[in-house]
């Protein structure tokens, strides 16, 4: 399920709940119930706005919008936050009016039953939207989830008011005002996060991951800026390179760095890399068969051309190695559940006592590692590059059958 489908489901559910609450509120004469119905009615509009924002944000870039439409989703979230605040003001206003002009509220079990159903349904929708909103980093869907969670609190308040009205005549009005104040507080919290996004706040988590990737390849970063727009992140990176490098070498370095960053940090949608001259020692690794395996570019690329998802398995004496750092690895390229390549590749970085398994995995562009065990440093190194790790006790033959 994607955020668009979740927002469509939310629109339909909120419309049904709003209709039933409004009918019930008018019948029993409860201002809190009518206020909750209006709140659910606004949810219909907010879910629709969320859907349009998510859909617009996915539009491809064009000549007029070279940076895409990512901010559309943030604007949709801002509209949802404003709707929350407006609904809160209206609910508080109605609650105050009830104090000034008391009207009888009819106690009915079916109205209470409706609020119980409403509470359960809204909580389910809130959790669904929170899950997919955070998974896809959708600010508008998270804002809509907060709206649904406010509905849960609102429905619980109305439920309490319908029960207490039999014993305390002002209960309904007090509950309505408290619901309104809670929604005001929620709208301010959502608004702050959305305002940060509109002001292009930096993403420290993404910056840390960029620095780790560059540090792993011995590339210095004297300058780094990021900005978060909706679910998308943009980065401006200044890297240090040897001034003696040729243009072609510099171009290869920046292209490889860009590819690595985009592949390992999916949230990054746009990267600008600028070069700052810096003296850097040139080094190469030459394997037994005489071809240069890595250069001063800082990125080591070895092995056959990648054909799909790449899985590597450390092998020793025809079986899966007891340790991750091995002299050779079985390299498997797989696409659409079909194995396109199965080839043994020597680890050119292997030294006794210094296996360099993580270095091999990165240099051969592995997506997944299957091994019996792995050390904490190698594990952390691979995880920083989003390389999946699977620990197993199975025989190599059994592993290959299940791929």
Cβ 343 vs Cβ 353: under 8 Å? no
CATH code: domain 204-277 is 3.30.70.1350
> Which has the minimum average pLDDT: 16-30, 152-166, 225-239?
152-166
Tens-digit pLDDT profile for residues 340-349: 999 999 988 8
Tokens of 203: 């993403």
334, 333, 315: which is closest to 324 by C-alpha?
315
Tens-digit pLDDT profile for residues 36-71: 677 677 777 777 887 787 788 778 777 777 667 777
- The rounded distance, in Å, linking the Cα atoms of 374 and 323 is 7
Domain spanning 309-402: CATH 1.10.533.10: no
Q: In degrees rounded to 5, what are phi and psi of residue 278?
A: -155, 130
Q: Where are the domains of the chain?
A: 3-198, 204-277, 309-402
Q: What is the pTM of this model?
A: 0.49
CATH code: domain 3-198 is 1.20.1510.10
Q: Which residue has the higher pLDDT, 298 or 319?
A: 319
Q: Which residues contact 72 (CB under 8 A, 6 or more apart)?
A: 53, 56, 57, 59, 230
302, 304, 295, 321: which is closest to 360 by C-alpha?
302
Kindly tell me if the per-residue pLDDT of 145 is higher than 70.
yes
- The rounded distance, in Å, linking the Cα atoms of 104 and 111 is 15
């Amino acid at each position: 399920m994607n955020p668009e489908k979740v927002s469509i489901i939310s629109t339909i559910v909120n419309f049904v709940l709003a209709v039933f609450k409004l009918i019930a509120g008018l019948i029993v004469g409860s201002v809190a119930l009518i206020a909750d119905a209006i709140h659910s009615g606004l949810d219909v509009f907010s879910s629709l706005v969320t859907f349009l924002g998510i859909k617009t944000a996915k539009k491809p870039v064009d000549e007029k919008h070279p940076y895409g439409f990512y901010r559309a989703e943030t604007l949709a979230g801002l509209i949802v936050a404003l709707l929350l605040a407006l609904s809160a003001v209206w609910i508080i206003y109605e609650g105050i009016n009830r104090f000034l002009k008391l009207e009888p509220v009819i106690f009915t079990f079916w109205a209470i039953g409706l609020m119980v159903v409403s509470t359960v349904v809204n909580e389910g929708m809130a959790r669904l939207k929170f899950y997919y909103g955070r998974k896809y980093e959708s600010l508008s869907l998270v804002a809509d989830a907060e709206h649904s969670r406010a509905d849960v609190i609102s429905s619980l308040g109305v439920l309490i008011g319908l029960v207490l009205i039999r014993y305390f005549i002002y209960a309904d009005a007090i509950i309505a005002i408290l619901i309104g104040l809670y929604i005001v507080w929620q709208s301010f919290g959502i608004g702050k996060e959305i305002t940060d996004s509109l002001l292009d706040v930096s993403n420290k988590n993404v910056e840390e991951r960029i620095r780790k990737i560059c540090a792993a390849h011995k590339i210095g970063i004297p300058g780094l800026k990021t900005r978060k727009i909706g679910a998308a992140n943009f980065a401006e990176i200044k890297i240090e390179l040897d001034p003696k490098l040729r243009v072609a070498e510099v171009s290869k370095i920046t292209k490889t760095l860009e590819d690595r960053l985009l592949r390992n940090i999916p949230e990054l949608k746009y990267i600008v890399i600028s070069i700052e001259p810096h003296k850097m020692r040139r080094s190469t690794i030459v394997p037994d068969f005489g071809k240069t395996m890595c250069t001063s570019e800082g990125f080591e690329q070895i092995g056959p051309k990648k054909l799909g998802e790449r899985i590597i398995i450390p092998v020793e004496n025809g079986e899966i190695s007891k340790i991750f750092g091995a002299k050779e690895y079985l390299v498997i390229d797989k696409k659409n559940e079909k194995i396109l390549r199965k080839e043994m590749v020597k680890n050119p970085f292997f030294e006794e006592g210094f296996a360099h398994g993580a270095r091999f995995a990165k240099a051969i562009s592995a997506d997944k590692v299957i091994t019996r065990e792995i050390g904490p440093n190698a594990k952390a190194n691979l995880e920083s590059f989003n390389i999946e790790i699977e620990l197993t006790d199975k025989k190599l033959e059994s592993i290959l059958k299940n791929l």
